[in-house]
Amino acid sequence: MKSIAEIFPLLKAGPKQIVVTMHQKPDPDAMGSALGLYHFLKGLGHSVTVVSPTNWASFLNWMPGCDTVIDFDYRKAEADAVLQKADWIFCLDFNTLSRARHMAPVIAALSCVKILIDHHQQPEVEAFTYGISNTAKSSTSEMVYDFIADSGNGDAINKSIAECLYAGVIGDTGSFRFPASTASVHTMVAHLKQTGFNHTQVHENIYDNFLENRLRFIGMALLHRMEIMYEYNTALIAISKSDLLKFDIKTGDTEGLVNYPLTIQGIKLAAIVIDRDEERKWSFRSKGDFDTNTFARNYFNGGGHYNASGGRSAESLEKTIQTFKQMIKENASLLQ
């Protein structure tokens, strides 16, 4: 994988057919970074299409340009046609092609230039022509900001770009409370604010934009589905398919639920497992020096960041919970 700086001179070398994509079930950072880059590249005169591997949470629909995003799963023929014409494809906020779900083999087969911008550990560098992977960065949205600024186009950042990138940054930094909120993040936000966008409205769009059923679901989950294992400083929330159906839970409604147990004194690891049709999906969050990335990779076919990772399991809900509890026992010394 060549340095991403090598494409800077090519950005204004004539219009390209460009696709921007991200990981499946995009969160604020994935969608925000993709749409921020979309607006920037369109401003340079390129023909740009954002293709999401799957659907996304409805609370992201306010983002400028979100109404143009193609859902690969839902509009496959249209997405395929766009992908086959691409000169460049930017892959944002995922480290391996497998995180693009059913789009993965399509991307792998493309002969176009593939560009990675990501902040997760252990990237699949051989799959990309150019790219940058920096785990020290708060978010992919911050990295897209750096890409724009480092290419000499910082003055091209407008209100739409700023709204999208700011949404991604607050999503991945927990509104600036996580350790990745470095001085460079706040410097970036100061620049974004100069465009005049309303940061309060962005916060409300992300965090105050749900239906009543989600709040009732969270209350049920914390009261009836949360198990605290104080001997291991660990909390587990297990959500069944019947829970999802009862509360009519949609994509994005479980976002952030895994963080609640970390507010309990002494808890160092919080985990949530959700029983999906095809597999069981895990999310892990930790405080301090428990490495959720290694834990997810070793036991649950996943990975991510040191203190925030995800995984999956083909086992039943009951079996994968048993596996988790056994692995917690085996790693008890790391949680003391």
Domains of the chain from N-terminus onward = 2-207 (3.90.1640.10), 212-335 (3.10.310.30)
Per-residue pLDDT of the chain (336 residues; tens, 9 = 90+): 999 999 999 998 889 999 999 999 999 999 999 999 999 999 999 999 999 999 999 999 999 999 999 999 999 999 999 999 999 999 999 999 999 989 999 999 999 999 999 999 889 999 999 999 999 999 999 999 999 999 999 999 999 999 999 999 999 999 998 888 999 999 999 999 999 999 999 999 999 999 999 999 999 999 999 999 999 999 999 999 999 999 999 989 999 999 999 999 999 999 999 998 889 999 999 998 999 999 999 999 998 889 999 999 999 999 999 999 999 999 999 998
DSSP 133: E
| Number of C-beta neighbours around residue 110 at 10 A | 14
Contacts of 259 (CB under 8 A, 6+ apart): 174, 270, 285
Residue type at 331? N
- 3-class DSSP state of 235: strand
| Number of C-beta neighbours around residue 269 at 10 A | 25
**Element (H or E) spanning 135, and its range?**
none
